[in-house]
């Protein structure tokens, strides 16, 4: 993941330049956002109380904010929030941050040149003011104008029954083909796509009112300043279909949900607690007894389950081009992890889930055998469930519209022709728009089951659009996993079932 963070720290390619009393500075101008120096890809963290901001305010008071407000007024730009001094940094990496004068305003077709002109004037004013202060002369303060569209929360939802049609389902493969062709023909998006999905995406919490959106995420090496011609060509392509589809491009990558990191002996108690915070639900409470139990778990070798009998590796695909990631373990001393018990009603309620629960007979009972056709027997828009190690029991809505997915790990798989960057096709289930995380670290591999408690798939990876209130996850169908195990064994394994004890 370090290479992803490194790419995120790179600034957006500049669109123009200007100079101040300090020297030349670069400016980026992309849809909904203009900044000097060029901004880093979203999302970012904002810290109003950062020590740099406190230091600047002690030296200058509100001189920078007041000066920028005068420039806004002269350019007829009406801020939606008070102009503020914040420390803007890539999420999880404040070492790469910068104090920034931030303006949030409405965006329209006249904004690009107007905002760029105002940002340049603001940056010149900020540099001149800082240069006059002996305490701040070595500090570079950025200026960024951003539209409300990039700050508001968004909601993702599955396509409702009244909009989901057989013709749309059949056309989706053709739409993806043409869109992928466009993305591959443009150097700025070629081999940079991390996912292509179709769902409702918008700002309304009445999710059915949000537009049907073709969502495209790209890795952080893709240059946002060169996206407009790509978007224009995709929009022309979508206009040929009768579904009123919108298109949305952003920097993003599918999120891995790996197992817990090993707790090393030389860690301090504080470091151990930080790791536990990262890997477990934040609702858990920690104390010295709990930390001792965790340490003893590893010291006693309880983390060793058994020996690998067979495994798919990352290169295998299902017969439907779905990603495989399974392993068969020969347990040591007959030990076994878990009992395939489904969450009880009280466990659902403890996780604040009250509506659309599994059938009463599928609460507190054992996980059941898959339906005849596995995940493919689940209807579009039907609720499905998982019980994860980190987030516990959660509810999602299944979508028959499969997403194209390319993950960062593929870059490490090398074939005779070079890196293995094949795209896989994955089923999706989408969390409740009000429910925040559908899964987190440690939930990968969780069994997904239907309302009758029948196993239908394994959770593979998750995705959260920028500023989205909820997440969605990719599922590997249980029938594809069973078939791949049989194929891999070359006939030595002929029957697979869910353990019932």
Q: Using the predicted structure, report yes or no on whether residue 417 has a pLDDT greater than 60.
A: no
Q: Say what percent of the chain tops pLDDT 90.
A: 66
Is the domain of 40 the same as that of 72?
A: yes
For the segment 288-296, the average pLDDT, to the nearest whole number, is: 72
138 shares its domain with 11: yes
- What is the band of 339 on the pLDDT scale with cuts at 50, 70, 90? confident
The mean per-residue pLDDT over the stretch 277-283 comes to 46
Q: How does pLDDT run across 204-261, given as a tens digit for each residue? A: 999 999 999 999 999 998 999 899 999 999 999 999 999 999 999 999 988 776 554 4
Look at residue 497 and tell me if it is in a domain. no
Whole-number percent of the chain with pLDDT over 70: 87
**pLDDT for 358-376, tens place per residue?**
999 999 999 999 999 999 9
- Residue the block writes with tokens 């006059």: 132
- Per-residue confidence (pLDDT) for residue 407, from 0 to 100: 84
pLDDT tens, position by position, 74-126: 999 999 999 999 999 988 777 789 999 999 999 999 999 999 999 999 999 99
| Residue 334: pLDDT over 70 | no
Mean pLDDT computed over 389-397: 91
Average pLDDT of span 290-296: 74
Domain termination residue (choose one: 150, 167, 195):
150
Q: Please check whether residues 114 and 167 belong to one and the same domain.
A: no
Average pLDDT across the chain, whole number? 87
* Residue 135 structure tokens: 């305490």
CB count within 10 Å of CB 422 equals 13
Same domain, 140 and 182: no
**How many structural domains comprise the chain?**
3
Domain boundary among 235, 251, 267: 251
Instruction: Judge if 452 and 399 occupy the same domain.
Output: yes
Residue 273 has pLDDT above 50, yes or no: yes
List of residues 6+ apart from 243 with CB closer than 8 A:
168, 171, 212
Q: Specify if 266 maps to a domain.
A: no
The bridge status of strand 392-405 relative to strand 414-415 is unpaired
Q: Are 25 and 11 in contact (CB under 8 A)?
A: no
The more confident residue out of 155 and 335 is: 155
Instruction: Give the pLDDT score at 274.
Output: 60
- Report the pLDDT value the prediction gives residue 1, as an integer from 0 to 100: 47
Whether residue 43 has a cis bond before it, omega within 30° of 0: yes
CB 264 within 8 A of CB 448: no
d(CA 29, CA 402) in angstroms, rounded, equals 34
Whether 145 contacts 100, CB under 8 Å: no
Instruction: Give yes or no: residues 365 and 433 share one domain.
Output: yes
DSSP per position, 447-458: EEE-TTSBEEEE
Write b or e for each residue in 84-109: b if 16 or more Cβ atoms lie within 10 A of its Cβ, otherwise e. Answer: bbbbbbbeeeeebbbbbbbbbbebee
Is residue 30 domain-resident? Answer: yes
Q: Mark whether 135 and 194 lie in a shared domain.
A: no
Q: Which of 293, 290, 327 is nearest to 310 (CA)?
A: 327
Q: How far apart are CA 339 and CA 327, in angstroms?
A: 18
What pLDDT does residue 26 have?
Answer: 96
Q: Kindly state whether residues 127 and 165 are assigned to the same domain.
A: no
Question: What CA–CA distances, in Å, run from 326 to 70, 316, 428, 456?
Answer: 61, 10, 18, 15
- Is residue 454 a part of any domain in this protein? yes
| Site of tokens 């009445």 | 206
Residue 459 lies in a domain: yes
475 phi, psi to nearest 5 deg: -120, 135
40 assigned to some structural domain: yes
Residue 272: per-residue pLDDT = 56
User: Quick one: pLDDT at residue 69?
Assistant: 98
**C-alpha to C-alpha distance for 178 and 475, rounded to whole angstroms:** 25
**Residue 225 CB coordination number (10 Å):** 15
pLDDT band at 455 (very low <50, low <70, confident <90, very high): very high
- Pair (372, 396) in one structural domain: yes
Of 107, 133, 150, which residue is a domain's last? 150
Burial class (CB in 10 A: 0-12, 13-18, 19+), 256: middle
Q: How confident is the model at residue 336 (pLDDT cuts 50, 70, 90)?
A: low
pLDDT of the residue at 282: 39
Q: What is the pLDDT of residue 271?
A: 58
- Ramachandran angles phi, psi of 253, nearest 5°: -145, 145
Domain with 160, as residue range(s), is 155-251
User: DSSP readout, 300-345?
Assistant: TTTT--EEEEEE-TTT-B-TTS-B---EEEEESTT------BPPPH
* pLDDT of amino acid 285: 42
How many Cα neighbours within 13 Å face the side chain of 41? 22
Do residue 26 and residue 143 come from a single domain? yes
In this structure, is residue 421 part of a structural domain? Answer: yes
Q: Examine the domain organization and report whether 80 and 191 are in the same domain.
A: no
CATH of the domain at 178: 3.30.70
4 has pLDDT over 60: no
pLDDT at 137 over 80: yes
- Domain identity same for 184 and 59: no
The CATH number assigned to the domain holding 372 equals 2.40.10.10
Evaluate whether residue 499 is within a structural domain.
no
Structure tokens at 229: 């011609």
Burial of 337 (0-12, 13-18, 19+ CB in 10 A): exposed
Q: Which two tokens stand for residue 83?
A: 């102009």
* Tens digits of residue pLDDT in 7-48: 566 677 888 999 999 999 999 999 999 999 999 888 899 999
């Amino acid at each position: 993941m370090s290479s992803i963070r490194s790419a995120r720290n790179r600034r957006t390619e500049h669109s123009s330049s200007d100079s101040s009393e300090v020297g030349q500075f670069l400016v980026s101008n992309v849809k909904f956002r203009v900044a000097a120096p060029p901004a880093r890809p979203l999302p970012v963290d904002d810290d109003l109380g950062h020590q740099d901001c406190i230091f600047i305010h002690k030296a200058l008071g509100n001189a920078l904010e007041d000066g920028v407000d005068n420039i806004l007024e002269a350019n007829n730009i009406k801020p939606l929030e008070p102009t503020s001094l914040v420390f803007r940094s890539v999420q999880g990496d404040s070492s790469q941050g910068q104090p920034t004068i931030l303006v949030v305003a409405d965006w329209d077709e006249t904004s690009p040149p107007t905002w760029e002109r105002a940002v340049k004037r603001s940056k010149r004013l900020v540099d001149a003011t800082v240069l006059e202060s002996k305490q701040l002369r070595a500090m570079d303060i950025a200026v960024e104008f951003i539209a409300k569209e990039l700050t508001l929360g968004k909601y993702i939802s599955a396509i409702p029954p009244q909009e989901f049609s057989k013709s749309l389902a059949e056309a989706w493969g053709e739409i993806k083909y043409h869109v992928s062709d466009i993305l591959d023909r443009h150097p700025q998006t070629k081999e940079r796509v991390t996912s292509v999905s179709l769902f409702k995406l918008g700002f309304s919490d009445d999710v059915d009112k949000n537009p049907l959106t073709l969502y495209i995420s790209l890795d952080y090496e893709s240059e946002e300043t060169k996206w407009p011609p790509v978007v224009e060509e995709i929009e022309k392509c979508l206009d040929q279909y009768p579904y009123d589809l919108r298109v949305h491009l952003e920097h993003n990558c599918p999120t891995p949900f790996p197992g817990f990191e090993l707790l090393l002996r030389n860690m301090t108690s504080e470091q151990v607690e930080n790791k536990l915070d990262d890997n477990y639900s934040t609702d858990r409470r920690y104390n010295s007894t709990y930390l001792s139990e965790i340490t003893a778990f590893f010291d006693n070798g309880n983390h060793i389950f058994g020996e690998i009998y067979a495994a798919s590796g990352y290169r295998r695909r299902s017969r439907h081009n779905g990603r495989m990631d399974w392993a068969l373990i020969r347990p040591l001393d007959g030990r076994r992890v878990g009992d395939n018990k489904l969450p009880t009603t009280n466990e659902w309620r403890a996780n604040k889930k009250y509506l659309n629960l599994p059938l009463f007979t599928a609460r507190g009972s054992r996980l059941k055998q898959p339906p005849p056709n596995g995940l493919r027997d689940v209807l579009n828009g039907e609720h499905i469930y998982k019980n994860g190690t980190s987030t516990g029991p959660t509810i999602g809505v299944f979508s028959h519209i499969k997403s194209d997915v390319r993950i960062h790990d593929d870059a490490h798989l090398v074939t005779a022709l070079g890196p293995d960057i094949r795209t896989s096709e994955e089923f999706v289930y989408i969390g409740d728009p009000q429910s925040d995380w559908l899964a987190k670290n440690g939930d990968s591999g969780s069994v997904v089951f239907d309302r009758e408690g029948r196993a239908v798939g394994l959770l593979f990876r998750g995705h959260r659009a920028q500023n989205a209130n909820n997440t969605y996850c990719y599922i590997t169908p249980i029938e594809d996993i069973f078939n791949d195990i049989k194929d891999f064994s070359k006939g030595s394994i002929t029957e697979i079932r869910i353990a019932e004890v």
